[in-house]
Structure 1
Amino acid sequence: MREVLYEQHGPVLLLTINREQAHNALNASVIQGIGDGVKSAAADPGIQAVVITGTGHKAFCAGADLKELDDISADDAHRNLNVGQEAFRAIETSGIPVITAVNGLALGGGFELVLASTFPVLSTRASLGLPEASLGLIPGYGGTQRLPRAIGAATAAHLMLTGARLSANRAYELGLTPVEPVDPESLLTEAMACAERIAAQGPRAVQFILECLNASRDTPLGTGLRLETRLAATAAGGSESTEGIRAFFEKRSPDFLQAAEPKIDGEK
């Protein structure tokens, strides 16, 4: 049985974690499958966005597969964590939008996958948390770094130190998701609609915006502004913007595929 399913829906690639009996827990195969799917999408000019979800209704992803952590050595754990860190960072810097459709529990590594995505869409049943400390562990796929940046240091500290969970509504109040939580039956429809709307924008413009957003997390303001100026000028001088502006004046939808320019490789 494939543990990550791939389905292309026009310009959107849907990735589904297919381990429902294990609450869609992350193992090496799942991490590899998600990473490969996002990399493939980023290299395919026919795909402009990715949606990641989990099978069933109970769990999006309940975290790392504890069977792989049982009695592991520190050296082996370090190697495994590096693989996960690199995979999640690759998602974040792939140059293509990645939306997580969270249909239930998103705990530990599952929450960290959400944090590495461009943004999540949450079911009203979603519940998010980093409970690693209750097992004598700490988050290892970026949670200690991305969560404070997303919701503030104090709230992040409380969640990690107590193991408390965020409801979907509380996550929305904190700005963790820009989309008001939706009924479980509508989740995938809403997430795919978001992805399709992004896919209708200028692909190069979307890629440049993502690059600027990543820079805003990692670089001083001055450096980020210089990057924005360079990419904004490149966009203004490209065939994609020519098509977009002409379509605006001609009162029609732009045909960005006709004006397609090659994707730029994401950060390594």
Structure 2
Amino acid sequence: MIKMSEPIVLVKKHVPLGTIQLNRPEKRNALSRVMIEELEQAFRDLHGEKSVRAIVLTGAGSAFCSGLDLAEMHAAAGEEDSFDRWRDDVVRLRDLYDLMLRFPKPIIAAVNGPAVAGGAGLVLASDFVIASPTATFGFPEPRRGVISGLCAPLLTFRVGGSQAARLLLLAETISAQRAESIGIFQEILPDEKLWARAMEIAKEVALSAAEAIQLTKRMLNETIGETLETFLAAGAAASATSRTTEAAAEGMKAFLEKREPEWPT
């Protein structure tokens, strides 16, 4: 008998909570093109479920999400239309963040391990963030020769320009405690209590009118954060361009070969 592989995005309902789980633990839940498409579809599927009042987004295994699949990116580097592929990848990720920001129900990121690069962006596009003590958060892209163009405006929106500059320019990966202290993580809980806490939040959300929650989220993300859409578009263009450089080629190659990069001078 042929064993069917599990979906790379798992969707479940535990009313009033819907659960979306990234399910590539062997790849630290890296965001492949297919996974991004399936994440978009998961949110669309739960959009119409009236009994689901909030969504928890989490990862399988020991990581939340390690960002874009660098092996897939590196493979695209040898293609004639590599820039078009990179641009399409970045635009698709931007569209996923935008979908999350516009999603009418609160999204709870349950960060069960490292959330870095594009995975950190998933955290920033969520409305609530609860994390385990072993969770980490950061933007290592410059050490791989590229930039965090998409995450920069989201990070600035959440924590302000000063904290964003430090995290982005130092390519820092910070602890759960530090992430909580600057307002990225809202609560730190033992790993085994993350899902139960997400359910508590969903039940609290369900006490309010669905229309009122939807309008509140729209006010926060489209009024207070009115420039986000413009900045995300600019960030997508900058990210795609950064992937065409010699530094990007060397950074990705060094990462895959597990060595220190030798930057071009």
User: Which structure has the higher relative contact order (CA within 8 Å, separation 6+)?
Assistant: 2
Equivalent in the alignment of 1:66? 70
Structure 1 residue 40: Cα displacement: 1.9
SS in 1 for 2:12: strand
The 2-side partners of 1:18 and 1:152 are apart by 32
The 1-side partners of 2:104 and 2:63 are apart by 27
TM alignment of 1:92-171, pairs within 5 A: 92-140=101-149, 142-171=150-179
Equivalent in the alignment of 1:232? none
Q: Is the 8 A contact 1:104 1:123 kept in 2?
A: yes
Q: Quick one: which of 28, 39, 43 aligns to 1:38?
A: 43
The 1-side partners of 2:181 and 2:97 are apart by 25
SS in 2 for 1:163: coil
The 2-side partners of 1:195 and 1:11 are apart by 6
* Matched AA of 1:78: R
Structure 1 residue 211: Cα displacement: 1.0
Structure 1 residue 36: Cα displacement: 1.2
Structure 1 residue 32: Cα displacement: 1.4
**Quick check: 197-206 or 121-130, which moved more?**
197-206
Where structure 2 has 5 or more consecutive residues not aligned to the other structure, the ranges are: 1-5, 228-265
TM alignment of 1:1-268, pairs within 5 A: 1-56=6-61, 58-70=62-74, 71-72=76-77, 73-140=82-149, 142-179=150-187, 181-214=188-221, 215-218=223-226
SS in 1 for 2:208: coil
The 2-side partners of 1:76 and 1:173 are apart by 38
Identity fraction in percent: 32
Report the TM-score when normalising by structure 2.
0.78
* Matched AA of 2:173: R
The 2-side partners of 1:178 and 1:124 are apart by 12
SS in 1 for 2:153: helix
The 1-side partners of 2:51 and 2:152 are apart by 35
Q: Is the 8 A contact 1:41 1:49 kept in 2?
A: no
How many residue pairs end up in the alignment? 216
The 2-side partners of 1:46 and 1:189 are apart by 18
Equivalent in the alignment of 2:236? none
SS in 1 for 2:225: helix
Report the TM-score when normalising by structure 1.
0.77
Alpha-carbon RMSD across the aligned residues, in angstroms, is 1.4
Q: Is the 8 A contact 1:5 1:17 kept in 2?
A: yes
Structure 1 residue 166: Cα displacement: 2.0
Residue by residue over 1:226-247, the C-alpha shift from the partner in whole angstroms, topping out at 9 and shown as x without a partner, is xxxxxxxxxxxxxxxxxxxxxx
Residue by residue over 1:113-168, the C-alpha shift from the partner in whole angstroms, topping out at 9 and shown as x without a partner, is 1001112111111100010000001124x211111121121221221122211211
Where structure 1 has 5 or more consecutive residues not aligned to the other structure, the ranges are: 220-268
Q: Which has the larger Rg?
A: 1
Structure 1 residue 85: Cα displacement: 0.4
